[in-house]
């Protein structure tokens, strides 16, 4: 949306000051600072544009699949390692929260995929090495700041999930997989834990989605401050509640489908979704005048 005057809440004020200090705003001239404060205009999109984004994401994956698959192997490996650690340290009840919460970090993990799609748009050669060039972006500091926000949300979700797990496992986790499954699905406390966990997890997912669906690709694409990127992302969700709610469901379903065969399907699902998210950003945010 166009730049506008409004009274900042404390959260926005802190984000603005952090963004200025991290990105060296004190050393920038006033024109550059003003440009970084201009909020991009967001568009209203139709559901058909979601499918077009997926098609373009699949095309990007097909064009650079060798390099992208190399990158994407990290995601199932990370999930397997987290699950193994949870089981090793008798944190079996945290496996599901870890798997679900890992999706909160998806936009951060997809940065390299955004870079590949961005370079393909410009007709530039792409490889997994080029994907790593995202660290050379002039906006790397606000990108890191956005990543830290998602990591903080992930940590808060795990802390909340642990407290919720005490409803069913207050006396300690069971010693076997069978005991764990019985405690979760065959007791009233287990079903209460599931219901509360889904409700709380939904809130975390909505917050993470709203602040990140546009912010990461926007920061990678052009020079804006961190708080501007977050507000633009929220504005995009407000302008397109129906299509973006459907997009969130599509992402969740595909991630679950990719996770079922021992997380192997994520090698394909994550890159396609990452590339598609870049193309969706292009549809949601107008280019600079």
pLDDT of residue 261: 67
pLDDT digits (tens, 9 = 90+) for 14-64: 555 555 545 554 555 676 677 778 889 999 999 999 999 999 999 998 887
Number of domains in the chain: 1
In a domain, 41, yes or no: no
User: Angle 95-102/188-212 helices, nearest 10 degrees?
Assistant: 20
CB of 275 closer than 8 Å to CB of 61: yes
In a domain, 263, yes or no: yes
Kindly give the parts of the chain with pLDDT less than 50. 1-5, 21, 25
pLDDT of residue 2: 47
pLDDT of residue 12: 58
In a domain, 40, yes or no: no
pLDDT of residue 215: 96
In a domain, 42, yes or no: no
In a domain, 78, yes or no: yes
In a domain, 194, yes or no: yes
In a domain, 37, yes or no: no
In a domain, 47, yes or no: no
pLDDT of residue 9: 56
Cα torsion for 157, 158, 161, 166, to the nearest 10°? -150
Query: What range defines the domain where residue 111 resides?
Result: 55-284
What's the CA gap between 181 and 163, in Å, rounded? 19
Non-local (6+) Cβ contacts of 285 within 8 A are 40, 41, 42, 43, 214, 218, 232, 236
What's the CA gap between 210 and 277, in Å, rounded? 13
Using DSSP, state whether 247 is helix, strand or coil.
helix
CA 80 to each of CA 84, 113, 205: distance values in angstroms, whole numbers, following the listed order? 6, 22, 22
């Amino acid at each position: 949306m166009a730049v506008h005057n409004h009274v900042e809440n404390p959260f926005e004020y802190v984000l603005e000051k952090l963004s200025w200090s991290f990105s060296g705003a004190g050393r920038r001239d006033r024109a550059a600072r003003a440009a970084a404060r201009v909020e991009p205009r967001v568009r209203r999109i139709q559901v058909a544009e979601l499918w077009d984004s997926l098609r373009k994401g699949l095309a990007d994956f097909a064009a650079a699949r060798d390099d992208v698959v190399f990158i994407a192997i990290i995601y199932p490996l990370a999930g397997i390692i987290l699950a193994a650690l949870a089981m090793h340290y008798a944190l079996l009840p945290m496996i599901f929260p870890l798997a679900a919460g890992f999706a909160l970090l998806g936009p951060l993990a997809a940065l390299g995929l955004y870079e590949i799609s961005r370079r393909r748009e410009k007709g530039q050669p792409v490889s997994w090495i080029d994907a790593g060039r995202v660290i050379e972006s002039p906006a790397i500091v606000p990108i890191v700041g956005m990543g830290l926000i998602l990591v903080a949300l992930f940590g808060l979700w795990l802390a909340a999930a642990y407290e919720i797990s005490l409803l069913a496992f207050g006396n300690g986790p069971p010693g076997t997989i069978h005991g764990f499954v019985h405690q979760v699905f065959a007791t009233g406390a287990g079903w209460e834990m599931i219901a509360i966990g889904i409700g709380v997890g939904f809130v975390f997912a909505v917050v993470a989605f709203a602040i990140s669906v546009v912010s990461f690709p926007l920061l990678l694409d052009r020079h804006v401050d961190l708080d501007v990127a977050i507000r633009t992302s929220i504005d995009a969700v407000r302008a397109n509640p129906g299509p973006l709610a459907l997009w969130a469901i599509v992402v969740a379903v595909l991630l679950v489908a990719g996770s079922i065969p021992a997380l192997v399907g994520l090698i394909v699902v994550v890159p396609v979704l990452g590339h598609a998210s870049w193309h969706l950003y292009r549809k949601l945010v107008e280019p600079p005048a």
